[in-house]
Chain A
Amino acid sequence: MRWFIYFIFAYICLGLQIGLSPYVRYQGAAPNFTLLAVIFIALNAPRDAAWLGAFGIGLIQDLLSAQPPGLYGLAYGLTAVFVYGAGQVVYREHPLTHFSLTLVGGLLTMFILLLHGWIHPPGPSSVEGGVKLPAIRMSPMLLFTSAIYTAVLAPIAIGILQRMKGIFAFRPPRRKVKM
Protein backbone atom coordinates (compact mmCIF):
# COMPACT_ATOMS: atom_id res chain seq x y z
CA MET A 1 0.00 0.00 0.00
CA ARG A 2 1.21 3.50 -0.79
CA TRP A 3 1.33 5.12 2.62
CA PHE A 4 1.58 8.66 1.25
CA ILE A 5 -1.72 8.20 -0.59
CA TYR A 6 -3.18 6.64 2.56
CA PHE A 7 -2.28 9.74 4.63
CA ILE A 8 -3.85 12.09 2.08
CA PHE A 9 -6.93 9.86 1.97
CA ALA A 10 -7.23 9.80 5.79
CA TYR A 11 -6.71 13.56 5.93
CA ILE A 12 -9.47 14.22 3.39
CA CYS A 13 -11.88 11.80 5.08
CA LEU A 14 -11.38 13.36 8.51
CA GLY A 15 -11.64 16.87 7.04
CA LEU A 16 -14.92 15.83 5.37
CA GLN A 17 -16.13 14.31 8.62
CA ILE A 18 -15.62 17.45 10.72
CA GLY A 19 -16.76 19.79 7.95
CA LEU A 20 -19.86 17.90 6.83
CA SER A 21 -21.19 16.11 9.90
CA PRO A 22 -23.01 19.12 11.46
CA TYR A 23 -24.99 19.60 8.24
CA VAL A 24 -25.97 16.04 7.41
CA ARG A 25 -27.26 14.95 10.81
CA TYR A 26 -30.54 13.09 10.97
CA GLN A 27 -32.17 13.22 14.43
CA GLY A 28 -28.74 14.15 15.81
CA ALA A 29 -27.03 11.17 14.13
CA ALA A 30 -24.29 11.88 11.61
CA PRO A 31 -22.89 9.39 9.12
CA ASN A 32 -19.39 8.19 9.87
CA PHE A 33 -17.34 8.88 6.73
CA THR A 34 -14.15 7.72 8.42
CA LEU A 35 -15.69 4.30 9.07
CA LEU A 36 -16.31 4.03 5.32
CA ALA A 37 -12.61 4.77 4.78
CA VAL A 38 -11.71 2.09 7.33
CA ILE A 39 -13.89 -0.52 5.60
CA PHE A 40 -12.39 0.38 2.23
CA ILE A 41 -8.82 0.04 3.53
CA ALA A 42 -9.54 -3.17 5.46
CA LEU A 43 -11.27 -4.72 2.48
CA ASN A 44 -8.43 -4.16 0.04
CA ALA A 45 -5.09 -3.72 1.78
CA PRO A 46 -2.77 -6.54 2.88
CA ARG A 47 -3.39 -7.65 6.45
CA ASP A 48 -0.74 -5.63 8.31
CA ALA A 49 -1.39 -2.44 6.36
CA ALA A 50 -5.17 -2.88 6.73
CA TRP A 51 -5.06 -3.29 10.49
CA LEU A 52 -2.53 -0.51 11.05
CA GLY A 53 -4.23 1.84 8.57
CA ALA A 54 -7.63 1.43 10.22
CA PHE A 55 -6.18 1.87 13.68
CA GLY A 56 -4.35 5.03 12.55
CA ILE A 57 -7.53 6.62 11.16
CA GLY A 58 -9.32 5.85 14.44
CA LEU A 59 -6.51 7.36 16.47
CA ILE A 60 -6.61 10.62 14.50
CA GLN A 61 -10.40 10.73 14.85
CA ASP A 62 -9.91 10.35 18.61
CA LEU A 63 -7.68 13.42 18.61
CA LEU A 64 -10.43 15.46 16.97
CA SER A 65 -13.29 14.17 19.07
CA ALA A 66 -14.60 15.04 22.52
CA GLN A 67 -14.16 11.34 23.42
CA PRO A 68 -11.04 10.16 25.27
CA PRO A 69 -8.16 9.01 23.03
CA GLY A 70 -8.13 5.37 21.99
CA LEU A 71 -11.86 4.80 21.67
CA TYR A 72 -12.18 5.03 17.89
CA GLY A 73 -8.71 3.54 17.46
CA LEU A 74 -9.86 0.44 19.30
CA ALA A 75 -13.20 0.30 17.48
CA TYR A 76 -11.67 0.67 14.01
CA GLY A 77 -8.80 -1.70 14.82
CA LEU A 78 -11.29 -4.43 15.76
CA THR A 79 -13.44 -3.57 12.74
CA ALA A 80 -10.40 -3.96 10.47
CA VAL A 81 -9.61 -7.38 11.97
CA PHE A 82 -13.16 -8.51 11.25
CA VAL A 83 -13.44 -6.94 7.81
CA TYR A 84 -10.06 -8.26 6.69
CA GLY A 85 -11.07 -11.77 7.75
CA ALA A 86 -14.47 -11.50 6.10
CA GLY A 87 -12.92 -9.94 3.00
CA GLN A 88 -11.25 -13.26 2.17
CA VAL A 89 -14.58 -15.04 1.75
CA VAL A 90 -16.90 -12.41 0.30
CA TYR A 91 -17.25 -10.74 -3.08
CA ARG A 92 -15.48 -7.46 -2.39
CA GLU A 93 -17.07 -5.46 -5.19
CA HIS A 94 -20.69 -6.23 -4.29
CA PRO A 95 -22.76 -3.35 -2.78
CA LEU A 96 -24.36 -5.77 -0.31
CA THR A 97 -20.88 -6.65 0.99
CA HIS A 98 -20.15 -2.96 1.51
CA PHE A 99 -23.48 -2.43 3.26
CA SER A 100 -23.20 -5.43 5.57
CA LEU A 101 -19.53 -4.94 6.50
CA THR A 102 -20.15 -1.24 7.24
CA LEU A 103 -23.17 -2.15 9.32
CA VAL A 104 -21.11 -4.63 11.35
CA GLY A 105 -18.34 -2.01 11.72
CA GLY A 106 -20.91 0.58 12.80
CA LEU A 107 -22.46 -1.79 15.32
CA LEU A 108 -19.03 -2.71 16.70
CA THR A 109 -18.19 0.99 17.07
CA MET A 110 -21.60 1.55 18.68
CA PHE A 111 -20.97 -1.28 21.13
CA ILE A 112 -17.58 0.13 22.17
CA LEU A 113 -18.96 3.67 22.55
CA LEU A 114 -21.91 2.35 24.59
CA LEU A 115 -19.62 0.25 26.78
CA HIS A 116 -17.44 3.30 27.37
CA GLY A 117 -20.49 5.45 28.09
CA TRP A 118 -21.75 2.81 30.52
CA ILE A 119 -18.43 2.74 32.42
CA HIS A 120 -17.61 6.46 32.11
CA PRO A 121 -20.88 8.32 31.35
CA PRO A 122 -20.36 11.83 29.91
CA GLY A 123 -22.59 13.14 32.72
CA PRO A 124 -21.96 10.99 35.79
CA SER A 125 -24.68 10.34 38.33
CA SER A 126 -24.64 12.83 41.19
CA VAL A 127 -26.59 13.87 44.26
CA GLU A 128 -27.84 17.46 44.11
CA GLY A 129 -29.83 18.86 46.99
CA GLY A 130 -30.46 15.39 48.40
CA VAL A 131 -31.86 14.10 45.11
CA LYS A 132 -29.99 11.52 43.07
CA LEU A 133 -29.67 12.52 39.45
CA PRO A 134 -29.28 9.68 36.96
CA ALA A 135 -26.17 9.57 34.78
CA ILE A 136 -26.46 11.06 31.29
CA ARG A 137 -25.27 8.65 28.62
CA MET A 138 -25.08 8.63 24.84
CA SER A 139 -28.37 7.48 23.39
CA PRO A 140 -28.14 3.91 21.96
CA MET A 141 -30.77 4.91 19.40
CA LEU A 142 -28.55 7.79 18.23
CA LEU A 143 -25.58 5.45 17.78
CA PHE A 144 -27.74 2.85 16.04
CA THR A 145 -29.18 5.49 13.67
CA SER A 146 -25.65 6.61 12.87
CA ALA A 147 -24.60 3.00 12.13
CA ILE A 148 -27.56 2.51 9.78
CA TYR A 149 -27.04 5.92 8.14
CA THR A 150 -23.37 5.07 7.45
CA ALA A 151 -24.23 1.60 6.15
CA VAL A 152 -26.80 3.06 3.74
CA LEU A 153 -24.14 5.37 2.29
CA ALA A 154 -21.58 2.56 2.05
CA PRO A 155 -22.56 1.04 -1.34
CA ILE A 156 -22.23 4.46 -2.99
CA ALA A 157 -19.11 5.71 -1.18
CA ILE A 158 -17.17 2.43 -1.17
CA GLY A 159 -18.41 1.70 -4.69
CA ILE A 160 -16.74 4.92 -5.87
CA LEU A 161 -13.60 4.24 -3.83
CA GLN A 162 -13.31 0.72 -5.26
CA ARG A 163 -12.94 2.26 -8.72
CA MET A 164 -10.05 4.38 -7.42
CA LYS A 165 -8.23 1.64 -5.54
CA GLY A 166 -5.52 1.45 -8.19
CA ILE A 167 -3.85 4.59 -6.86
CA PHE A 168 -3.45 2.97 -3.45
CA ALA A 169 -1.46 0.05 -4.95
CA PHE A 170 -2.86 -2.27 -2.29
CA ARG A 171 -1.30 -5.34 -3.91
CA PRO A 172 2.23 -5.12 -5.31
CA PRO A 173 2.41 -5.83 -9.07
CA ARG A 174 3.08 -9.47 -9.88
CA ARG A 175 6.53 -10.26 -11.25
CA LYS A 176 6.82 -12.18 -14.43
CA VAL A 177 8.79 -15.34 -13.94
CA LYS A 178 10.88 -16.34 -16.93
CA MET A 179 10.69 -20.05 -17.56
Chain B
Amino acid sequence: MPHLRFQHVFAGLLLMSVVTAFVLPVKYSNRTHPEIQALFAPVSVPVRAIARRIHDAVAPDSSSDHRADDDIRRENQLLRSELSRVGEQLHTLEGQVAAKKELGTLGEYTTKFSVIGGDPGLRESLQIRGSSLEGLKEHMPVLYTDGSGIVGEVQRAGVAGAQIRLITDAGFGSRDAAGYTLRAGFKRYVTENGQVKAVTLKTPQVLVQGVGKNQMVIRLLPMDAVTAAGLRVGDVAVLDEANWPPILKGIYLGTITSIEKSKATPQFAEIFVEPQKALIRLREVLVMTKSE
Protein backbone atom coordinates (compact mmCIF):
# COMPACT_ATOMS: atom_id res chain seq x y z
CA MET B 1 0.00 0.00 0.00
CA PRO B 2 1.48 3.33 -0.97
CA HIS B 3 2.27 5.66 1.93
CA LEU B 4 0.65 9.08 1.86
CA ARG B 5 3.50 11.41 2.72
CA PHE B 6 3.50 15.11 3.50
CA GLN B 7 4.91 15.96 0.07
CA HIS B 8 1.86 14.33 -1.53
CA VAL B 9 -0.56 16.26 0.68
CA PHE B 10 1.28 19.50 -0.05
CA ALA B 11 1.33 18.82 -3.79
CA GLY B 12 -2.42 18.21 -3.54
CA LEU B 13 -2.91 21.58 -1.83
CA LEU B 14 -0.90 23.34 -4.53
CA LEU B 15 -2.89 21.54 -7.21
CA MET B 16 -6.14 22.65 -5.58
CA SER B 17 -4.81 26.22 -5.61
CA VAL B 18 -4.08 25.92 -9.33
CA VAL B 19 -7.64 24.72 -9.92
CA THR B 20 -9.32 27.49 -7.89
CA ALA B 21 -7.06 30.24 -9.23
CA PHE B 22 -6.64 29.25 -12.87
CA VAL B 23 -9.33 26.77 -13.87
CA LEU B 24 -12.47 27.57 -11.90
CA PRO B 25 -14.37 30.62 -13.27
CA VAL B 26 -14.16 33.60 -10.91
CA LYS B 27 -17.91 33.68 -10.27
CA TYR B 28 -17.72 30.14 -8.83
CA SER B 29 -14.47 30.57 -6.92
CA ASN B 30 -15.86 33.77 -5.32
CA ARG B 31 -18.82 31.82 -3.97
CA THR B 32 -16.49 29.61 -1.94
CA HIS B 33 -14.73 32.69 -0.64
CA PRO B 34 -15.41 33.32 3.07
CA GLU B 35 -15.25 37.00 4.03
CA ILE B 36 -12.99 37.52 7.03
CA GLN B 37 -11.96 41.15 6.60
CA ALA B 38 -13.51 42.36 9.87
CA LEU B 39 -11.36 39.94 11.88
CA PHE B 40 -8.27 41.94 10.95
CA ALA B 41 -9.69 45.30 12.05
CA PRO B 42 -8.01 45.25 15.52
CA VAL B 43 -4.60 45.40 13.80
CA SER B 44 -5.31 47.16 10.52
CA VAL B 45 -7.41 50.06 11.86
CA PRO B 46 -4.84 51.48 14.33
CA VAL B 47 -2.00 50.80 11.87
CA ARG B 48 -3.96 52.59 9.16
CA ALA B 49 -4.66 55.56 11.45
CA ILE B 50 -0.97 55.94 12.31
CA ALA B 51 0.07 55.50 8.66
CA ARG B 52 -2.49 58.09 7.55
CA ARG B 53 -1.19 60.69 10.02
CA ILE B 54 2.41 60.11 8.95
CA HIS B 55 1.42 60.12 5.26
CA ASP B 56 -0.55 63.35 5.59
CA ALA B 57 2.33 65.01 7.42
CA VAL B 58 5.16 63.77 5.18
CA ALA B 59 3.70 63.29 1.70
CA PRO B 60 0.11 64.53 1.42
CA ASP B 61 -1.80 63.63 -1.75
CA SER B 62 -1.16 66.13 -4.53
CA SER B 63 -3.93 67.42 -6.76
CA SER B 64 -4.41 66.26 -10.33
CA ASP B 65 -5.50 69.80 -11.22
CA HIS B 66 -2.68 71.45 -13.19
CA ARG B 67 -4.41 74.67 -14.24
CA ALA B 68 -2.64 78.02 -14.30
CA ASP B 69 -2.62 80.02 -11.05
CA ASP B 70 -4.57 82.92 -12.64
CA ASP B 71 -7.42 80.60 -13.67
CA ILE B 72 -7.60 79.16 -10.19
CA ARG B 73 -7.55 82.63 -8.60
CA ARG B 74 -10.41 83.76 -10.88
CA GLU B 75 -12.42 80.68 -10.01
CA ASN B 76 -11.66 81.14 -6.33
CA GLN B 77 -13.09 84.65 -6.48
CA LEU B 78 -16.30 83.38 -8.05
CA LEU B 79 -16.50 80.50 -5.63
CA ARG B 80 -16.05 82.88 -2.71
CA SER B 81 -19.16 84.82 -3.71
CA GLU B 82 -20.99 81.58 -4.32
CA LEU B 83 -19.83 80.32 -0.93
CA SER B 84 -21.24 83.34 0.90
CA ARG B 85 -24.60 82.77 -0.78
CA VAL B 86 -24.57 79.06 0.05
CA GLY B 87 -23.29 79.86 3.53
CA GLU B 88 -26.50 81.72 4.32
CA GLN B 89 -28.52 78.66 3.40
CA LEU B 90 -26.19 76.39 5.31
CA HIS B 91 -26.92 78.17 8.60
CA THR B 92 -30.38 76.69 8.57
CA LEU B 93 -29.01 73.16 8.63
CA GLU B 94 -27.87 71.53 11.85
CA GLY B 95 -25.75 68.52 12.81
CA GLN B 96 -26.76 65.17 11.41
CA VAL B 97 -29.89 66.55 9.83
CA ALA B 98 -27.74 69.01 7.93
CA ALA B 99 -25.45 66.28 6.64
CA LYS B 100 -28.42 64.20 5.60
CA LYS B 101 -30.03 67.11 3.78
CA GLU B 102 -26.76 68.00 2.09
CA LEU B 103 -26.59 64.46 0.81
CA GLY B 104 -30.00 64.95 -0.76
CA THR B 105 -32.25 62.04 -1.61
CA LEU B 106 -29.23 59.72 -1.81
CA GLY B 107 -29.08 59.72 1.99
CA GLU B 108 -32.28 57.70 2.17
CA TYR B 109 -30.75 54.86 0.18
CA THR B 110 -27.28 54.70 1.63
CA THR B 111 -25.51 53.40 4.73
CA LYS B 112 -22.12 54.60 5.95
CA PHE B 113 -19.32 52.07 6.55
CA SER B 114 -15.80 52.61 7.84
CA VAL B 115 -12.82 51.30 5.91
CA ILE B 116 -10.61 48.68 7.58
CA GLY B 117 -7.87 48.65 5.00
CA GLY B 118 -6.77 48.28 1.41
CA ASP B 119 -6.03 45.31 -0.78
CA PRO B 120 -3.23 43.09 0.55
CA GLY B 121 -2.17 42.46 -3.05
CA LEU B 122 -1.73 45.00 -5.82
CA ARG B 123 -5.35 45.32 -6.87
CA GLU B 124 -7.36 48.42 -5.89
CA SER B 125 -9.98 47.38 -3.36
CA LEU B 126 -11.09 48.34 0.14
CA GLN B 127 -12.06 46.16 3.06
CA ILE B 128 -14.97 47.63 5.00
CA ARG B 129 -16.41 46.99 8.42
CA GLY B 130 -19.76 45.77 7.15
CA SER B 131 -21.36 42.46 6.39
CA SER B 132 -24.13 40.70 4.55
CA LEU B 133 -26.08 40.88 7.82
CA GLU B 134 -26.26 44.64 7.30
CA GLY B 135 -27.75 44.14 3.86
CA LEU B 136 -24.57 44.33 1.80
CA LYS B 137 -24.76 42.45 -1.50
CA GLU B 138 -22.67 42.09 -4.64
CA HIS B 139 -22.75 44.98 -7.17
CA MET B 140 -24.15 47.54 -4.70
CA PRO B 141 -22.83 51.00 -5.68
CA VAL B 142 -20.37 52.65 -3.30
CA LEU B 143 -20.08 56.45 -3.00
CA TYR B 144 -18.00 59.11 -1.24
CA THR B 145 -19.38 59.95 2.19
CA ASP B 146 -20.79 63.24 0.89
CA GLY B 147 -22.47 61.38 -1.98
CA SER B 148 -20.57 63.47 -4.50
CA GLY B 149 -19.14 60.65 -6.60
CA ILE B 150 -18.75 56.95 -7.28
CA VAL B 151 -16.06 55.00 -5.44
CA GLY B 152 -16.77 51.48 -6.73
CA GLU B 153 -19.10 48.59 -6.03
CA VAL B 154 -19.39 45.79 -3.48
CA GLN B 155 -17.42 42.89 -4.89
CA ARG B 156 -18.12 40.37 -2.14
CA ALA B 157 -19.97 40.48 1.15
CA GLY B 158 -20.05 37.87 3.88
CA VAL B 159 -20.85 37.54 7.57
CA ALA B 160 -17.44 38.79 8.74
CA GLY B 161 -16.63 41.46 6.21
CA ALA B 162 -17.08 42.93 2.77
CA GLN B 163 -14.86 44.02 -0.06
CA ILE B 164 -15.28 47.02 -2.34
CA ARG B 165 -13.79 46.95 -5.82
CA LEU B 166 -12.74 50.49 -6.69
CA ILE B 167 -13.55 52.06 -10.07
CA THR B 168 -9.82 52.49 -10.59
CA ASP B 169 -9.03 48.77 -10.16
CA ALA B 170 -7.56 47.25 -13.32
CA GLY B 171 -10.40 46.03 -15.49
CA PHE B 172 -13.26 47.66 -13.57
CA GLY B 173 -15.89 48.77 -16.06
CA SER B 174 -14.92 46.21 -18.71
CA ARG B 175 -17.86 44.08 -19.76
CA ASP B 176 -18.06 41.18 -17.29
CA ALA B 177 -19.87 37.85 -17.57
CA ALA B 178 -23.09 39.44 -16.29
CA GLY B 179 -22.83 42.23 -18.87
CA TYR B 180 -22.03 44.96 -16.34
CA THR B 181 -20.01 47.88 -17.67
CA LEU B 182 -19.21 51.42 -16.58
CA ARG B 183 -20.21 54.12 -19.06
CA ALA B 184 -19.86 57.84 -18.78
CA GLY B 185 -20.71 61.19 -20.27
CA PHE B 186 -18.89 64.48 -19.70
CA LYS B 187 -19.64 67.74 -17.89
CA ARG B 188 -17.83 71.03 -17.56
CA TYR B 189 -18.24 73.46 -14.69
CA VAL B 190 -18.60 77.01 -15.95
CA THR B 191 -19.37 80.29 -14.23
CA GLU B 192 -22.29 82.34 -15.46
CA ASN B 193 -23.40 85.53 -13.75
CA GLY B 194 -21.21 84.70 -10.80
CA GLN B 195 -22.73 81.25 -10.35
CA VAL B 196 -21.06 77.91 -11.01
CA LYS B 197 -23.07 75.75 -13.39
CA ALA B 198 -22.53 72.24 -14.75
CA VAL B 199 -22.87 72.03 -18.53
CA THR B 200 -23.29 68.65 -20.19
CA LEU B 201 -20.93 68.17 -23.13
CA LYS B 202 -22.33 66.60 -26.28
CA THR B 203 -20.30 63.44 -26.64
CA PRO B 204 -21.36 59.83 -27.21
CA GLN B 205 -21.67 57.61 -24.14
CA VAL B 206 -18.21 56.08 -23.51
CA LEU B 207 -16.86 53.02 -21.74
CA VAL B 208 -14.64 53.84 -18.73
CA GLN B 209 -12.15 51.21 -17.54
CA GLY B 210 -10.02 51.18 -14.43
CA VAL B 211 -6.30 50.74 -15.06
CA GLY B 212 -4.88 50.88 -11.52
CA LYS B 213 -2.74 53.61 -9.93
CA ASN B 214 -5.93 55.56 -9.09
CA GLN B 215 -6.68 56.07 -12.80
CA MET B 216 -9.28 55.16 -15.40
CA VAL B 217 -9.04 55.22 -19.17
CA ILE B 218 -11.52 55.99 -21.97
CA ARG B 219 -10.50 54.47 -25.27
CA LEU B 220 -13.61 54.51 -27.44
CA LEU B 221 -14.17 58.19 -28.09
CA PRO B 222 -13.22 59.25 -31.67
CA MET B 223 -10.80 62.18 -31.89
CA ASP B 224 -13.43 63.97 -34.04
CA ALA B 225 -15.93 63.76 -31.18
CA VAL B 226 -13.31 65.08 -28.75
CA THR B 227 -12.66 68.07 -31.01
CA ALA B 228 -16.36 68.67 -31.74
CA ALA B 229 -17.27 68.66 -28.03
CA GLY B 230 -14.21 70.74 -27.14
CA LEU B 231 -13.31 68.21 -24.48
CA ARG B 232 -10.26 69.26 -22.47
CA VAL B 233 -8.25 68.51 -19.37
CA GLY B 234 -10.24 69.50 -16.27
CA ASP B 235 -13.63 68.42 -17.64
CA VAL B 236 -15.29 65.73 -15.57
CA ALA B 237 -16.56 62.26 -16.46
CA VAL B 238 -19.97 61.48 -14.98
CA LEU B 239 -21.90 58.22 -14.71
CA ASP B 240 -24.20 57.39 -17.62
CA GLU B 241 -24.82 53.67 -17.24
CA ALA B 242 -28.17 51.92 -17.49
CA ASN B 243 -27.08 49.03 -15.23
CA TRP B 244 -26.56 51.41 -12.30
CA PRO B 245 -29.46 52.95 -10.30
CA PRO B 246 -31.04 55.88 -12.21
CA ILE B 247 -30.60 58.17 -9.19
CA LEU B 248 -26.83 57.99 -9.75
CA LYS B 249 -26.97 59.16 -13.36
CA GLY B 250 -24.74 62.18 -13.81
CA ILE B 251 -22.76 61.58 -10.61
CA TYR B 252 -19.01 62.31 -10.60
CA LEU B 253 -16.52 59.62 -11.64
CA GLY B 254 -13.33 61.54 -12.19
CA THR B 255 -11.56 64.50 -13.75
CA ILE B 256 -9.79 64.30 -17.12
CA THR B 257 -6.03 64.52 -16.60
CA SER B 258 -4.83 63.86 -20.17
CA ILE B 259 -6.20 63.53 -23.71
CA GLU B 260 -3.97 61.96 -26.34
CA LYS B 261 -4.31 60.11 -29.61
CA SER B 262 -4.43 56.37 -29.08
CA LYS B 263 -1.20 54.74 -30.30
CA ALA B 264 -2.96 51.55 -31.37
CA THR B 265 -5.96 53.22 -33.04
CA PRO B 266 -5.08 56.84 -33.91
CA GLN B 267 -8.67 57.72 -34.90
CA PHE B 268 -9.63 57.29 -31.23
CA ALA B 269 -8.54 59.30 -28.23
CA GLU B 270 -6.97 57.86 -25.10
CA ILE B 271 -8.36 59.84 -22.21
CA PHE B 272 -7.09 59.36 -18.67
CA VAL B 273 -9.45 60.18 -15.83
CA GLU B 274 -8.54 60.46 -12.15
CA PRO B 275 -10.89 60.67 -9.14
CA GLN B 276 -10.70 63.74 -6.92
CA LYS B 277 -9.28 61.66 -4.06
CA ALA B 278 -6.93 58.68 -3.76
CA LEU B 279 -9.70 56.08 -3.43
CA ILE B 280 -7.45 53.51 -1.78
CA ARG B 281 -7.01 55.90 1.17
CA LEU B 282 -10.67 56.71 1.87
CA ARG B 283 -11.65 56.43 5.54
CA GLU B 284 -15.39 55.92 5.12
CA VAL B 285 -17.73 55.16 2.27
CA LEU B 286 -21.46 55.13 1.59
CA VAL B 287 -23.00 51.95 0.23
CA MET B 288 -26.31 52.16 -1.60
CA THR B 289 -28.00 49.42 0.39
CA LYS B 290 -31.55 50.31 -0.64
CA SER B 291 -32.91 50.56 -4.12
CA GLU B 292 -35.31 53.24 -5.33
- A interface residue numbers (CB < 8 A to B): 11-12, 14-25, 27-30, 34, 47-48, 51-52, 55, 59-61, 63-74, 77-78, 113, 115-116, 119-124, 126, 128-129, 131, 133-139, 142-143, 146
Q: Give every chain A residue within 8 A of B26 (Cβ-Cβ).
A: 68, 120
Does B125 count as interface, using CB distance less than 8 angstroms? yes
Q: Give every chain A residue within 8 A of B14 (Cβ-Cβ).
A: 55, 73-74, 77-78
Q: Give every chain B residue within 8 A of A27 (Cβ-Cβ).
A: 213
Q: Which of B24, B45, B280 contacts A22 (CB 8 A)?
A: B280
Closest 3 CB pairs of A and B: A15-B43, A123-B171, A122-B171
Q: Which of A61, A64, A137, A139 contacts B127 (CB 8 A)?
A: A64
Given contact pairs A19-B51, A66-B119, A74-B18, A55 touches B174 in the complex (Cβ within 8 A): no
Q: Give every chain B residue within 8 A of A122 (Cβ-Cβ).
A: 123, 169-172, 174
Q: Report the minimal beta-carbon distance from A22 to chain B, rounded to whole angstroms.
A: 4
Does B2 count as interface, using CB distance less than 8 angstroms? no
Listed by A's residue number, 29 A-B pairs whose Cβ atoms lie within 8 Å are A15-B43, A16-B44, A18-B40, A19-B43, A19-B44, A22-B118, A24-B51, A28-B122, A47-B6, A51-B6, A51-B10, A61-B120, A63-B36, A65-B120, A65-B121, A65-B123, A66-B165, A67-B21, A68-B21, A73-B13, A73-B17, A122-B169, A129-B220, A135-B174, A136-B170, A136-B174, A137-B170, A142-B212, A142-B213
A133 and B40 within 8 A (CB): no
Chain B interface secondary structure, helix, strand, loop or mixed? mixed
Q: Give every chain B residue within 8 A of A60 (Cβ-Cβ).
A: 36
Chain B 22-47 residues near chain A, CB threshold 8 A: 22, 24, 26, 29-30, 32-37, 40, 42-47
| Closest chain A residue to B173, Cβ basis | A123
B281 and A68 within 8 A (CB): no
Fill in one digit per residue for B115-132: 1 if any A CB lies within 8 Å of its CB, else 0: 011111111110100000
Fill in one digit per residue for B1-19: 1 if any A CB lies within 8 Å of its CB, else 0: 0000010001001101111
| Closest chain A residue to B26, Cβ basis | A68
Does B175 count as interface, using CB distance less than 8 angstroms? yes
**Interface size counted on chain B using CB atoms at 8 A:** 70
- B interface residue numbers (CB < 8 A to A): 6, 10, 13-14, 16-22, 24, 26, 29-30, 32-37, 40, 42-48, 51-52, 54-55, 116-125, 127, 155, 163, 165, 169-176, 207, 209-214, 219-220, 264-265, 268, 278, 280-281
Q: Report the minimal beta-carbon distance from A119 to chain B, rounded to whole angstroms.
A: 6
